[in-house]
Amino acid sequence: MKVYNTLTRKKEELKTIKKNEVGIYSCGPTVYWNQHIGHMYAYVQWDTLVRLLRYLGNKVTWVMNITDVGHMTSDEDVGEDKMEKGAKREGLSVWEVAKKYEKQFLESLRLLNISTPDVLCRATEHIEEQIDLAKKIEARGFTYQTKTGLVYDTAKFPEYANFANLKLTEMEAGARVEVDEEKKKPWDFLLWVTNQPNHVMKWPSPWGEGFPGWHLECTAMSTRYLGNKFDIHTGGKEHIGVHHTNEIAQGYGAFGSQTANYWLHNGWLTFEGAKMSKSLGNVVLATDLKEKGFDSLALRYLILSSNYKQGLDFNFRNLSVAAEALVKLKAAAGVPGEGGVIESVKKEFLEKMEDDLSTPEAIAVVWKMVKGEYKKEDIKATLLELDKILGLKLAEKEEVKVPEMVIKLVEERNKAKKDKNWAEADRLREEIKKRGYLVEDTKDDCKIKKIMLS
């Protein structure tokens, strides 16, 4: 299999450390708020990579972190701790916020049929490992101490700028006001943060009571579960410049070499061209899809019809198209009778997938088969086989279910009609329409039809 490695800026043959074994670490969610479908984009793609590697006969260990401490509102040391921000917003404790949004994340994984990672590890439960790692980095002379904490001295790692092609001179000129004025360079970063009297989550450490810097957890937990050297590290492309650059620096500091051999980065899911964000009011959650009458796996299909590196511009029109495509595939996978897997199709499908996870091309191979002249039973058998990688649950019957809210509105409208309250009936028809359904009156009843949402 070939993958695009950000480390070398090349598509390379994936050579694993141990034969037929792959260790993968994926940067996981910061559980201070809902994980929307923009976040879930990455996890669908990496899950498909994991499924593919398993299908090809590898023993895969997939590790993902849950960030529940230390992530500032900026990815650098600047700003407020995201967990504390979430706690203030909701009037909950930081621990309750973490629990609430971890649950929301796990439910989103389930709705999108994303395999549960083999290890799902919380930063707050690996404080000891993080302190140990910081001690190693300190012992090898890569740190200095300030009043704010233990700082990574990037001057000791001359290759610091290489991974992201950082222009350090320009960065120095444009640097923001620092939280820690004693830092030698603006991009030096905190491994351990001390002297923050208002911070709720605190642990004792050799540098004083405090909490870990955000980048430390990923290096500490990836190496804890996969070894100091492992195969693949994934994350969003926004992590290249700061988070992964700092992780690589930490690896060199502690072990004298970078931790992962392959660094894979996904593009973003945008909503009609804009980044999905609370402030723009365009946030969509996996749970919202069902309420709008969509099979949540239509989103999985839509995500896989985009290339992981390119990302996807989401809207409800392309989700509708994806939903229809999924219904057709399920119909083809649901014909009666038993057939055999069409080996030539499987081979072509795998060739596309093994070429840096080219899912759009692999899905095109599937459609070529569905529309091709094969026995229906063989198409079915092949679809079900390839679905082990696609994860679309093609064997499951589609459930066409009108949301309860819509049913309630239809009932209210029926009553208004009976009472000859036509204005109210018209108002309710509009309410129903807003939820994506059209009511058509028949002689003594009515029919509900789903309409295209935009």
Binding site for Zn ion (CB under 5 A): 27, 218
With contact defined as beta carbons under 8 Å apart, do 154 and 245 qualify? no
Q: What are phi and psi for residue 117, nearest 5 degrees?
A: -55, 150
Least Å distance, CB 117 to Zn ion, is 13
Cβ nearer to Zn ion, comparing 27 with 31: 27
Give SS3 for 311: coil
Cβ nearer to Zn ion, comparing 28 with 149: 28
- Single-letter amino acid, residue 280: L
CA distances from 207 to 124, 191, 203, 322, 350 (A): 18, 10, 11, 53, 51
What does R_g of the chain's alpha carbons equal in angstroms? Answer: 25
Cβ nearer to Zn ion, comparing 262 with 314: 262
Nearest Cα neighbor of 37 from 276, 272, 273, 236 is 276
Cβ nearer to Zn ion, comparing 225 with 437: 225
Distance CA 91, CA 304 (A): 38
Least Å distance, CB 77 to Zn ion, is 15
- Running DSSP on this structure, what letter comes out for residue 212? E
> What b/e sequence results for 403-431 when a residue is b if at least 16 CB atoms lie within 10 Å of its CB, and e otherwise?
eeebeebbebbbebeeeeeeeebeebbeb
- Running DSSP on this structure, what letter comes out for residue 72? B
Distance CA 28, CA 235 (A): 8
With contact defined as beta carbons under 8 Å apart, do 134 and 211 qualify? no
What are the tokens at 41?
Answer: 């984009």
Cβ nearer to Zn ion, comparing 149 with 235: 235
Distance CA 202, CA 426 (A): 58
Least Å distance, CB 64 to Zn ion, is 9
Cβ nearer to Zn ion, comparing 259 with 359: 259
Least Å distance, CB 109 to Zn ion, is 17
Least Å distance, CB 24 to Zn ion, is 13
Least Å distance, CB 118 to Zn ion, is 17
Q: Which residues contact 43 (CB under 8 A, 6 or more apart)?
A: 26, 109, 112, 114
With contact defined as beta carbons under 8 Å apart, do 156 and 142 qualify? yes
Least Å distance, CB 449 to Zn ion, is 45
Least Å distance, CB 269 to Zn ion, is 19
Least Å distance, CB 246 to Zn ion, is 9
CA distances from 199 to 82, 109, 213, 248 (A): 11, 31, 13, 27
Cβ nearer to Zn ion, comparing 217 with 356: 217
Least Å distance, CB 122 to Zn ion, is 13
Cβ nearer to Zn ion, comparing 208 with 227: 227
Nearest Cα neighbor of 1 from 306, 343, 362 is 362
Cβ nearer to Zn ion, comparing 239 with 330: 239
- Running DSSP on this structure, what letter comes out for residue 176? P
- Single-letter amino acid, residue 150: L
Cβ nearer to Zn ion, comparing 244 with 380: 244
Least Å distance, CB 27 to Zn ion, is 3
Cβ nearer to Zn ion, comparing 101 with 437: 101
One-letter-per-residue 3-state SS of 258-298: CCEEEEEEECCEEECCEECCHHHCCCCCHHHHHHCCCCHHH
Least Å distance, CB 28 to Zn ion, is 7
What are the tokens at 10?
Answer: 């090349």
Question: Which neighbouring-strand residues pair with 145?
Answer: 150
Cβ nearer to Zn ion, comparing 28 with 186: 28
Distance CA 261, CA 342 (A): 35
